[in-house]
Every structure is written in C-alpha cells, then in structure tokens.
C-alpha cells in the first residue's frame, strides 16, 4: 500500500486504522443517493414531484477513476428519480436499483448478479435505511453529516459532506489502498 495520501482523504492509518486494509479488497462500491451523492435536500416542485437533484463533479470523476481500475460501482436507493438514472448513465454506472425498501435484499441480488462476494463489497450510506448493509460489507463509509448511529457502525467517516466530495474521498481511499492513486495521478499530469 502506498504511504502517499490524497489531500481529500484524512490519514486513515491514524483515525481509521482498518480502512486501508479493508478497502484494498474492494471490487464493488455500493452508494446510496440522498445524503451521499447529494446533500440530502429534497426539492419538491408544485406538482408534488422531485424537481431537482444536485450532484458533485468531484464525486463523478472519482467514480470514473475507480471504475477505470476495475472496481464496479452500483446505486441502491429508496427513492425513484429520473435524475439519478440520468447521472448513473452519464457515469457508466450499470447497476442501479431505485425505489428499494429492503436494501440488504437488493444488495444480495446485486452480488448474485455480479458474482462479487460480500467480502469484496464496500458501501456508503448516511442514515438508518443503510444500516442493513453497512455492517455486513468488507468496507463501509459514511459522509461527515451522516446520522450518529451510522457513524458508530462504519469503518470510515469522510471529512466532506454528502454531495460535496464525500464519495470522491472514499473513491480516493480505495484507489490508495489498491495502489492505483499515484499511477492515475501521474497519468493526468
């Protein structure tokens, strides 16, 4: 594992000693949407439907970098949203499950479909509906503003908030743990 750290990732060796070892084994990152890929705000229009979601471009680039190394990315979310569908398509995320009320069952189906075992899966969530998944995966993370009960049960809490670079922080950590961060950075220079 590389000793170089991204400026966006706090030193996981001191604050979260297991984070790098756990992240080194990840082949699939499962993301929640509201509060993780977005800031959690729900903008409801006059017709009572969701009108807008705001995504962070740093998160998007982190997802693309992670996928370029062979780590798959998936979305499992409780809400249905054409904006999530569009963003996932734009980022090349092939596994998108929306309107999910039982996230663990959705994860089990995803793992069966991909052939990836639970001990090579990472997940990032921010609230109680994600607790059915987070304690069971190889590496779990949450954004800085996540509910306190979630923070107690994950391997890594980001410095950034959801929708503001938290996903990128996790992507960078996985890239570091798998010795891909410096190589990808050099390719960008």
Q: Where in 61-178 does DSSP place strands (E)?
A: 72-76, 95-97, 121-124, 139-142, 156-157
The partner residues of 123 in beta bridges, in order of sequence, read: 30, 140
Task: Give the pLDDT of residue 14.
Answer: 53
Q: What is the mean pLDDT of residues 33-51?
A: 86
Phi-psi region of 95 (alpha: psi -120 to 50; beta: other; left: phi over 0): beta
Q: Containing H/E element for 50? A: strand 50-52
Task: Give the pLDDT of residue 9.
Answer: 55
Task: Give the pLDDT of residue 41.
Answer: 83
* Full strand arrangement of the beta sheet holding 139-142: 95-97, 72-76, 28-31, 121-124, 139-142, 156-157
Q: What is the mean pLDDT of residues 113-141?
A: 97
Task: Give the pLDDT of residue 73.
Answer: 98
**pTM for the model:** 0.90
Identify the CATH homologous superfamily for domain 12-184.
HAD superfamily/HAD-like (3.40.50.1000)
The partner residues of 180 in beta bridges, in order of sequence, read: none
Note the helical H segments in 31-165. Answer: 57-68, 82-91, 103-114, 148-151
Res 145 pLDDT > 60: yes
CA gyration radius, the chain: 15
Three-state secondary structure call for residue 114: helix
User: Six-digit token pair at 109?
Assistant: 């189906």
């Amino acid at each position: 594992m590389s000793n170089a750290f991204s400026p966006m990732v706090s030193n996981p060796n001191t604050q979260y000693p297991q984070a790098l070892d756990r992240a080194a084994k990840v082949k699939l990152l499962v993301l929640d949407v509201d509060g993780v890929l977005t800031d959690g705000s729900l903008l409801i229009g006059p017709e009572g439907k969701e009108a807008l979601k705001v995504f962070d471009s740093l998160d998007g680039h982190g997802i693309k970098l992670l996928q370029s190394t062979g780590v798959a990315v998936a979305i499992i979310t409780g809400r249905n949203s054409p904006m999530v569908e569009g963003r996932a398509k734009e980022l090349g995320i092939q596994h998108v499950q929306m309107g999910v009320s039982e996230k663990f069952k959705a994860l089990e189906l995803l793992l069966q479909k991909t052939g990836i075992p639970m001990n090579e899966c990472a997940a990032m969530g921010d609230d109680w509906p994600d607790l059915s998944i987070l304690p069971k995966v190889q590496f779990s993370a949450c954004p800085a503003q996540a509910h306190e009960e979630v923070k107690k049960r994950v391997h890594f809490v980001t410095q950034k908030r959801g929708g503001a670079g938290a996903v990128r922080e996790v992507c960078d950590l996985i890239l570091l743990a798998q010795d891909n961060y410096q190589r990808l950075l050099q390719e960008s220079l």
